[in-house]
Structure 1
Amino acid sequence: MEKADSCRRAAVEAVADVEPPQLHNYIESILDRASMVPGTLTLESAAAMAADGHALEGDLPRPSPSEADRDRASDQNTDRTGECEPDRVITHSAGVQLIYEGLRLTRTLAHDEPWTATDGTAADADADDGDLAILAADILVARGFYLLARTEAAGKAVRTVQSFGRDQTSRTDLPDDGSDGDPRSEGQTGGIDPTAIDANLERDVLELAVLTGAVAVGETPSPWLFAVATDLADAIGPSFPPASECLTDLEPSFHDRSLEEGPTDRATSATDP
């Protein structure tokens, strides 16, 4: 998908100045392998909510480094308007993607700490890789916040990170009693499914994506867009497949549905959910 490629390039450009090279290469490898569902959904949502229904359709150009820098700087002093340049929307989509990748990596490290093996020891190589990974996670989230700063999606981004922290804390505190021999509780801990807790991240990020896309073109997201995010979250769970596997079928309906709704149906507040 061209939108996924545009988002990936913008995300890579946003971390181009990270040093040392080993850390930069590590982050770039994460983005090379990442599913672009969050960023692509941001772009699709912006196109659907654009005032004329066509403003952001078609090929989305790759911003040069200088243009990307100007976009990020101008975001600090830009008020909400009825129009938004495609390059800036791509930058915002990269912000959503970077926040997700950082939190996803943090979740992986929390579940399987590389610093401590099952026997209470850790190989030096694994510990070094863990140190690199936690630095990468912090940088990804921080850069994502930077790209969304001063936008109406910034508050939702903060709430997404806060919710993630609460969820992972509650997951860690679950009693380790397994299924207690009851097959109906298989995969659950204390009667609670940890996978369902983990999947809250994907749900929150998809909501962030549709909100970011809509406010990037000066609109509030329609209830239908949030319904799309909910349906995707229910189908995907705690991981994203390639964007081409779960968003391609939505592309034609995004434009058609946005024209059907019209401006009077776009009543959802930009601060929700």
Structure 2
Amino acid sequence: MDRVDTCRQAACDAISDVEPAALNEFLTDTLEAASMTPGVLTLACASALERASANATANATATATVSETESETESDATAGSSVSRTATPTELNLEAVAHHAAGVQLIYEGLRLTRMLAHEEPWAETTGDGRADLEILAADILVARGFYLLARTDAATTAVRTVRQFGRDQTLRADATTADATALDANLERDVLELAVCTGATAVDAHTSSALLEVASTVAADVGASFPPAGECIPSRSVLEDAVDEYEPERERQQGRKRKRDAEPDLERPPTELTTDRVTSAGDP
């Protein structure tokens, strides 16, 4: 199963228990038709950071082996120096971190749907618009389920910031010029890709790479206010791996502890059992 299929399946699994059937069908259809760019970037960043970690570990081991043998005999030193200093490429277990990617994808789809409804205002000309009611409920559920998947991760704070910024941007958009409105809309894609990088790092217990954030910013500038299929905009593996900062395990552990200490005290975590009969609006600031 490739990354696109993995993300889509994980996202669909996360909403599989939603009822009634009509709502579940709408959610599933939405995810089936969606670009999986946010989720795939999450997996791609996790993979790049995982490989960087493996390389750093292998290089450290090789260096230690050479040092040990050099202290014994000249011949052993020669043998030890032949130890490979490049890690054997490792493939990320996609299924192991797919729920992180699904969390990012669900939050984006919910906010994207909310943005569409805010622009179209389907309630302005008709009353009792059942389709619009279904769509806004679906948007709330998508965001809520996305939060549920990320709530116990270091990416939760970034997810909260993404939703809050979306609410502010859409409020500002009401009085903005056409050019400014377009830019404000595109902020969602930019912020979600930043969330994807952060979540990918969290999934493999790594720090968020500033170089990967720059890659995400470049992608966001290219796509604007909508994502094409993931294969058309996600950078290649080599580009992402080249962008990864040098992996430093001790620095990583320290930054991980700092992120936990700096987590927002008012962060609202979803309940253990998430219900779908009442969820907070995705557009609330």
TM (normalized to structure 1)? 0.75
Distance in 1 of aligned mates of 2:14 and 2:165 = 25
Q: Alpha carbons of 1:209 and 1:163: their partners in 2 closer, same or farther (altered >3 Å)? A: same
- State the alpha-carbon separation in 1 of the partners of residues 14 and 185 from structure 2: 27
1:216 corresponds to which letter in structure 2?
A
For residues 171 and 255 of structure 2, what CA distance do their matches in structure 1 show? Answer: 30
1:153-193 deviations in Å (ceiling 9; x for gaps): 0000000000000000111133xxxxxxxxxxxxx44xx52
Task: From 246, 249, 253, give the equivalent of 1:261.
Answer: 246
Partner residue of 2:188? 201
1:106 aligns with 2:132: no
- Structure 2 distance, partners of 1:97, 1:113, is 24
**Structure 1 residues 33-72: aligned runs within 5 Å:** 33-50=33-50, 51-52=53-54, 54-57=89-92, 60=93
Q: C-alpha distance in 2, partners of 1:251/1:237?
A: 22
What do residues 217-261 of structure 1 show as CA deviations (whole Å, max 9, x unaligned)? 1110211100111100111110000001111x4223223444x73
The corresponding residue for 2:236 is 250
The question of whether the paired residues in 1 share the 8 Å contact of 2:173 and 2:180 is answered with no
CA distance in 1, matches of 2:247, 2:9: 32
**Contact 2:104 2:192 (8 Å CA) reproduced:** yes
CA distance in 2, matches of 1:40, 1:151: 18
Partner of 1:216: 203
Report the AA paired with residue 161 of structure 1.
Answer: V
**Rounded Cα–Cα distance in structure 1 between residues aligned with 2:54 and 2:38:** 24
Alignment of 1:16-165 (within 5 A): 16-50=16-50, 51-52=53-54, 54-57=89-92, 60=93, 86-116=94-124, 121-122=125-126, 127-165=129-167
Shifted more, 219-228 versus 136-145: the winner is 219-228
Question: Does the CA contact (< 8 Å) of 2:48 and 2:237 recur in 1?
Answer: no
The aligned counterpart of 2:281 is: none
Alignment correspondent of 1:185: none
Structure 1: distance between partners of 2:167 and 2:91? 34
Quickly say closer, same or farther: Cα 1:88–1:147, change in 2 above 3 A. Answer: farther
Distance 1:151-1:261 versus aligned 2 partners, 3 A rule: same
* Closer, same or farther: CA 269–208 of 1 in aligned 2, 3 Å: farther
Q: Pick one of 222, 225, 231 that aligns with 1:235.
A: 222
Q: Which runs of 5+ in 2 are unaligned?
A: 56-88, 263-285
Measure how far apart 1:2 and its partner are: 1.2
How much does 1:114 deviate? 1.5
Measured after TM superposition, the shift of residue 39 of structure 1 is 0.1
> How far apart, CA to CA, are the structure 2 residues paired with 1:21 and 1:217?
36
- Which deviates further from its counterpart, 203-212 or 48-57? 48-57
Q: Verify the 8 A CA contact 1:45 1:254 in the aligned structure 2.
A: yes
Deviations 1:58-107 (A, max 9, x none): xx5xxxxxxxxxxxxxxxxxxxxxxxxx4341100000000000000000
Residue 232 of structure 2 aligns with an amino acid whose one-letter code is E
- How many positions carry a matched residue from both structures? 222
Structure 1 contact 206–229 (Cα < 8 Å) conserved: yes
Identity %: 54
- Which has the greater radius of gyration? 2
Distance 1:214 1:55 in 2: 16
Q: Take 1:96 and 1:105, find their aligned partners in 2: how far apart are those partners? A: 14
What residue identity is the alignment partner of 2:126? A
1:49·1:221 contact (CA, 8 Å) conserved in 2?
Answer: no
